[in-house]
Structure 1
Amino acid sequence: MATLYLLQAGGAEWTESKRLQSAAGEPLTDGQAAAARQACEELAAAGIRAIYAAAHDPVEPLAAIAGEALDLRPVVTDELQEVDFGLWQGLLVGEIKQRYAKLYRQWRAGEASASPPGGETYDQALDRAWAAVCRIVRKHRGQDVLIITQPLLAGLLRCRLTGRAADAVWDLVEWSTRCTGFDLDRISLLEDAR
């Protein structure tokens, strides 16, 4: 049985003082780097054959740590970038709540049409990333693979991998640097069902 491992860079909780970062996220902290090293040491015995990651902080340095620990060269793909926050990029959550109160509530509730101005809906981000996951799974059929991304996109991928709708994303977003494994046979079934 082959496994897809999803390693996410940890991040700060979504508090009033949290600044939204997507394309150019927050730098990898020492704590995140240490957690990544530990997760990768645990993965060393898994026989991972490929690493895929988004570009930019904190994912790219996390991919370098994984590549070194697993003796693999990470493949960088834009399709695994964090959700595009559009005009909200770089703003504090408190500022967004103040300026875009109704839209922010709709977006957090997972309404299908809600997106930051100039940004992506959850479904758009998930479709983009899922296309990459399916391509990766087909390319590495029967092999263990590691995908590295940021918390919100990782939560969206968890939605798809567990058969939940994208509006459940906030139930599945985790803020620590952690790794989760998913049976690749299940991914093939999900892909066939689409």
Structure 2
Amino acid sequence: MATLDGLVADLLTRYDGDDQAPGDGGPGLLLRLDSLALRTRQPQQTGGRAAPGSRPPTSLEAVSWSQRIKGEAVRLDAELRHSAHEQPWHRALRAIPPGAESAGRVPEVIRTVARWHGTVLTVLGERGPSVHFRLAVCLACGQRTVYGRADLDRPRAWCVNDQCADDDGQPARYEGTRLYLLDGGRTS
């Protein structure tokens, strides 16, 4: 999983990604949502990465997601600082990692920022949407709150229950052979 500083940098300044999902080093993901020219990707035959016939999201959809994430970042920063004063979104986003550390809420904040990061990548078409595995029961918390993504290079699933805690204290994640343990709650 990426660090909080890395996720914020991807959203704000430059999309570098991480070892498992490397970025392209281009502009920050929120700037891409705000700029139609950066959202438009060309078919692979002309040097782009999008499949032929694919279209970027409509401008209002992308901008709406951008504004929502920026608003959530401003509110989260104010909450972490225990302040009624709200900073501009770019300052608030930069202040989230130290604020989370001083508030002792790093794991929770990482999940929130990672959700924003994933949402932006999905809206930009960099990855497909996640799917609710409604028959799968989380092995850590026993709830039917497992979502996943069936990417060809790295299929994976995760629990979205905030009270879920696996061996490492984080919500359960399923990758590799562990993914096959999710059998829809059937017992043998």
Q: Does TM-score exceed 0.5, indicating one fold?
A: no
- Under a length normalisation based on structure 2, what TM-score does the superposition of the two structures give? 0.32
- Under a length normalisation based on structure 1, what TM-score does the superposition of the two structures give? 0.31
- Higher RCO by CA contacts (8 Å cutoff, separation 6 or greater): 1
Whose radius of gyration is greater, 1 or 2? 2
